[in-house]
Structure formats: structure tokens, C-alpha cells
Amino acid sequence: MLLQTVCTFQVCETVVLLLGALVLSLLLWTANVADTSIPTLQPENVPQTGAVVATRVDDLQNQDEAALDEVQHVPGTLSAAQAELRAKDHLIASLSEERNVYQSLCSGLEVKVGKKEGEIVKSMAKLARLNAQVSSLTRKNGEYKADLATMREVTQSQGEMIQKLKAGPRGFSENADSSSSSSREKDQEHQADRIRSLLERNMHLETLLSSLQGMLAQRDATIDHINDRRAEQEAQFLTLSQDHEKLRQFCTSLQETIAEDEEAMARLRIAIAKERVAAEEWKTLFNLSRAQPHIHGAANISTVGIFEAQNRKIAELQDKLSECHMQLVASHNGTIFMPRELLPLNGGSDSAPI
């Protein structure tokens, strides 16, 4: 909006300057007309004075027509200025629209970056939770194993006690006197109730022990699965780190190769320039030898052979320079070949272009 206001002000200022220049020219023309002095009419100078007046009238008419033309050109200039103003308004609107599109794209990218950062934070939190779960499950596993050992000891002691109680009534009946049958029956019933309660408790403990063993097996499987996943992620991270290091070393070697190729090309250019100078010298010598008829023909043949050898050497150097240039262009364009160490990254054959 500020750019549009500035452009509008500039166009209006241009139109005002044009109108001011036109008014100034009209004022100057009026001043010239007012200051013009018509010669005094004398009887003997009437024809000359008439000619001068006619000439002056023609000049004034021409100036009037020029002023009218300038006045007529003012609307065209104003229209052009208005058209330029409309074009600038259109340009400003298009730039504003492009800026809005760019801002929307930037906002979208910021939202995506925020989402990715949120996902990274969530993944880190999830990893922390998994590590905490592993620690908690490991601790609970140790506690369950300790409880299991304790329950086994309790069950074993209760089994021994049940065996003793089962053998108790027979020993009591063999060693007791026959003083009172009712007291023996009460004691036997009491012992039988105690045995039943101990058996029920033993069955309950065995059921609880079985459930605890199942829970322990489940916990162990979960811990093993989490450990396997963590090992896979660590292996993937290590593989990616190794691949990144290989690619970095490969890029460094490519940059060194490009620098060496450029140096070789520079040396070849210098050698070709020297060979061209030598070829020109040999060519000049050959032309001089041909221009002198007293030189023997064998000398001419020898000079021609030397010149042809120099040309062949120049052609070989140019071929080498072209080959180096093609390799350099291919390396800059990305059509390079991966070494055998990086083949697992691309899954290709002996070499694969990047």
C-alpha cells in the first residue's frame, strides 16, 4: 500500500511539472508578444513595414500553433502518465499477491517444521517412556522372581506340615490312652478342619504361583521385544552414520579429483599454447624455406616432416584436453560413478551414476 501511494505521488508530481512547464512557456510567449515593438509607419517605409508586419504575424501564428500543439499534447501525456500509473498499480498488486503467496508458503513450511519438531519431541518422549518401562519391568521381574522363590518355600513348608498333620492322628491314636472317646473325636475333627484349610490355601497359592509365572513370561517377552527394537534402531543408526561418512569421504575425493583435473587442464592449455607458438615458428620457417629456391629439396621434406609431427602432437594434446574437459563437465553435471565401497547404498552393479 505504501509503494502504491509513493508511485501515485510520483506520477502526479510528473503531471504537475508538465503543466507548469506548459504554463511557463505560454507566459514567455505572452511576454514576447507584449515586448514586440512594431516599427513606426512612415510614408516612405509603408511597403517595408507591411512586409515586416506580415512576417511578424506569421511568426506569431506559428508560435500560436506550436503552443496549441503543446496544449493538445498535454492530454496525451496525462493519459500516458495515467496508463503508467495503472501499470505500476497492477505491478504492485501482483507483487503483493506474490508476497502473500510467499508468506503463505513460509507459514506452511514453518507449520511443517513445527510438526516435525513435535514428532521428534514425541519420539524422544516415547523412547524415554520405553526405557522407563524396560527399567520398571526389569525391577518388577526381579521382585516377582523373589516372591516366587518365597512362595515356593512357603508351599514346601506347608506341604511338610500337612504330611505331619496327616501322620499325627495315627500316632495319637496309637499312643493315647482310652480315657475319653469324645475328646479324641473333637481333636480329630479339629485336625481335619485344619488340614482342609491348609489344603485350600495350598491350592490357592499354587494358582497364584501359576498366574505369576505367566505374568513373568509375558514381561520377559515384552522386555525382549523392546530390547530387540532398540538394538535394531541402534544398528540402523550406526549403518546410516557409516553411509554418511562414506558419502562425505567420496565427495571429498571427488572434489580433489576435480581440482586435479582442472590443474591438468591448465597445464595442457599451457602446453598447447607453447606447441602452437612452436608450430607457428616452424610454419614460418617452412614458408621461408619454400620462398628460397636455393635450399635443397631434402631440407624442405625434413621441415615438412617436423611440421607434421608438431601438428600430430598438438592434435594429441587437444584430444587429451577434450577428454579432461568432458570428465570435468560430467563430474560437475553429476554423471559420476560410485566406487565399489558404496555399492550397498545404491544396490547397483559394478558402478552406478549419481
- Does one domain contain both 296 and 221? no
CA separation for the pair 310, 282 (Å, rounded): 9
Residue 182 lies in a domain: no
- Does one domain contain both 265 and 304? yes
What is the rounded average pLDDT for all residues in the chain?
68
Residue 44 lies in a domain: no
Contacts of 26 (CB under 8 A, 6+ apart): 67
- Does one domain contain both 107 and 158? no
- Does one domain contain both 78 and 163? no
Task: Report helix, strand or coil for 294.
Answer: coil
Name the grid cell of 28: 514567455
Q: Which residue range(s) make up the domain with 144?
A: 128-171+187-227
Q: Please check whether residue 295 is in contact with residue 289, taking contact to mean a CB–CB distance below 8 angstroms.
A: yes
> Is the alpha carbon torsion for 35, 38, 39, 41 positive or negative?
negative
Residue 60 lies in a domain: yes
Predicted confidence at residue 354, as pLDDT, reads: 40
- Does one domain contain both 351 and 248? yes
pLDDT in tens, 241-268: 888 888 888 878 878 888 887 888 788 8
CA separation for the pair 324, 71 (Å, rounded): 70
- Does one domain contain both 284 and 211? no
- Does one domain contain both 254 and 202? no
- DSSP assignment letter at 293: T
Predicted confidence at residue 336, as pLDDT, reads: 46
Amino acid at 221: A
Domain count, the chain: 3
CB-count burial class (<10 Å; 0-12, 13-18, 19+) for 11? buried
pLDDT in tens, 304-318: 666 677 778 778 877
Q: Please check whether residue 146 is in contact with residue 216, taking contact to mean a CB–CB distance below 8 angstroms.
A: no
- Does one domain contain both 6 and 60? yes
Task: Name which of 156, 247, 235, 261 is nearest 198 in CA terms.
Answer: 156
* pLDDT band at residue 75 using 50, 70 and 90 as cut-offs: low
- Does one domain contain both 109 and 133? no
Predicted confidence at residue 17, as pLDDT, reads: 63
- Does one domain contain both 108 and 134? no
pLDDT in tens, 133-157: 777 777 777 776 777 777 777 777 7
Residue 233 lies in a domain: no
Q: Note the residue count of the chain.
A: 354
CA separation for the pair 229, 122 (Å, rounded): 17
With b meaning 16 or more CB within 10 Å and e meaning fewer, what string describes 305-342? eebeebeeebeebeeebeebeebbeebeeeebebeeeb
- Does one domain contain both 136 and 222? yes
Residue 232 lies in a domain: no
Residue 95 lies in a domain: yes
- DSSP assignment letter at 48: H
Predicted confidence at residue 34, as pLDDT, reads: 46
* pLDDT band at residue 92 using 50, 70 and 90 as cut-offs: confident
Residue 23 lies in a domain: yes
Residue 273 lies in a domain: yes
Dihedral-angle region of residue 249 (phi above 0 means left; psi in -120 to 50 means alpha; beta otherwise): alpha
Query: What does the pLDDT average to over 96-115?
Result: 75
CA separation for the pair 101, 108 (Å, rounded): 10
- Does one domain contain both 194 and 257? no
More confident residue, 184 or 294: 184
Question: How far is CA 116 from each of CA 241, 246, 267, rounded to the nearest angstrom?
Answer: 21, 27, 51
